């Protein structure tokens, strides 16, 4: 246990986690350059960036339960970074859609967002992530006050639900529900743990 804590608190731990979080992007860039993303690389890039945003969100939500269950307080050091990587991959997902799928035609993008519910949900999730990313810094916490900041960042639970709905509707077109159900179970477990803890505390 002491060794794990020492590793988690080591100065190199954060740079290592940062590098690991960039590996999916490096793989996708390599895959696109090497022609390894299948018959439709643009679609593969858009979808995989979105899935990595959802994975980063799940990792962010998992920090608090794992910290409590495993008694690893050092995990809190990585929560902000993982949250920002969630926004990073979500932004790349949105950019890839706007650029590769819509040719950066803002009028067409706006119409597509309003026309297709699953894209509307994805855009709504990104908009909600925006203030969380913008306030994920010490100065913002001081400016808002700890209580207001905590209330604002509880939007992550709503974002998880909207992001999951976006993913579910996107896969519904191809009747592929395996992965969405897996993420549903994971997010339900992570939020259910929080609910149980809050009920016990009250």
Predicted TM-score (pTM) of the model is 0.93
Residue recorded with tokens 């529900």: 177
- Number of Cβ atoms within 10 Å of the Cβ of 182: 10
Distance CA 21, CA 89 (A): 10
Q: Looking at residue 170, what is its pLDDT?
A: 86
Q: Which tens digit of pLDDT belongs to each residue from 67-107?
A: 999 889 999 999 999 999 999 999 999 999 999 888 888 89
Residue recorded with tokens 């022609």: 35
Residue extents of the structural domains in the chain:
2-201
How far is the first Cα of the chain from the last one, in angstroms, to the nearest whole number? 31
For residues 148-159, average pLDDT: 92
Q: Are 80 and 19 in contact (CB under 8 A)?
A: no
Q: How confident is the model at residue 177 (pLDDT cuts 50, 70, 90)?
A: confident
């Amino acid at each position: 246990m002491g060794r794990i804590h020492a590793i988690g608190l080591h100065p190199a731990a954060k740079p290592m986690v940062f590098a690991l979080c960039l590996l999916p992007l490096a793989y996708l860039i390599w895959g696109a350059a090497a022609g390894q993303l299948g018959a439709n690389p643009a679609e593969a890039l858009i979808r995989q960036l979105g899935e990595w945003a959802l994975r980063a969100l799940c990792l962010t939500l998992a920090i608090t339960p794992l910290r409590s269950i495993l008694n690893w307080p050092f995990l809190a050091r990585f929560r902000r970074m993982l949250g920002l990587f969630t926004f990073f991959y979500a932004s790349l997902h949105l950019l890839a859609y706007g650029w590769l799928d819509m040719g950066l035609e803002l009028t067409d993008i706006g119409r597509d967002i309003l026309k297709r519910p699953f894209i509307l949900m994805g855009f709504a999730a990104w908009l909600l992530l925006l203030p969380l990313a913008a306030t994920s810094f010490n100065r913002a916490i001081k400016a808002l006050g700890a209580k207001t900041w905590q209330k604002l960042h509880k939007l992550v639970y709503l974002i998880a639900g909207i992001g999951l709905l976006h993913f579910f509707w996107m896969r519904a077109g191809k009747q592929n529900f395996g992965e969405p159900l897996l993420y549903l179970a994971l997010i339900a477990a992570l939020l259910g743990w929080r609910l149980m803890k809050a009920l016990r505390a009250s």
